Amino acid sequence: MRVHIATDHAGMELSSHLIGHLRESGYDVVDHGPQEYDANDDYPAFCINAAQAVADDWKAGVDALGIVLGGSGNGEQIAANKVRGIRAALAWNLDTARLARQHNDANVVAVGGRQHTVDEAAEIIDAFLAEPFSGDERHVRRIGQIARYEATGTTA
């Protein structure tokens, strides 16, 4: 599986750790930056680029998920969710990570680097990446409504 990752300055230590950890676990990791620490960086471009890469991979039939990191993960999740076809979920524990995949077929996870130790965050992300979508009809129906709204402005 390909994993696209992006961060802001607050998540750089976590991002660096995760890139190594995920590569060791066999994932094809693509780093969307930033490459250097800048306390005044603007995370939206990094996160949008990672989310767009996930969306592009899905369109091309490539198995891919994304990770966006920040101090809280909130802004990064919002930025990623601006990309058509992306369902980014903020995960703060193992349950929210797994449920994001099981129920929402989330394809990007947001995690706050200042909210967890590096090991806790890695566990949350591992849980997200490992969890399959349940495929239950009710979840498929609800995701379809979201996708219709995104495309047409209506859920009907």
Question: Which residues are catalytically annotated?
Answer: 76, 103
Do residues 97 and 131 make contact, with C-beta atoms less than 8 angstroms apart? yes
C-alpha to C-alpha distance for 104 and 27, rounded to whole angstroms: 22
Which residues lie across from 47 on neighbouring strands?
Answer: none
Closest CA to 110 of 65, 60, 140, 64: 65
Angle at alpha carbon of residue 39, lines to 92 and 93, rounded to 5°: 5
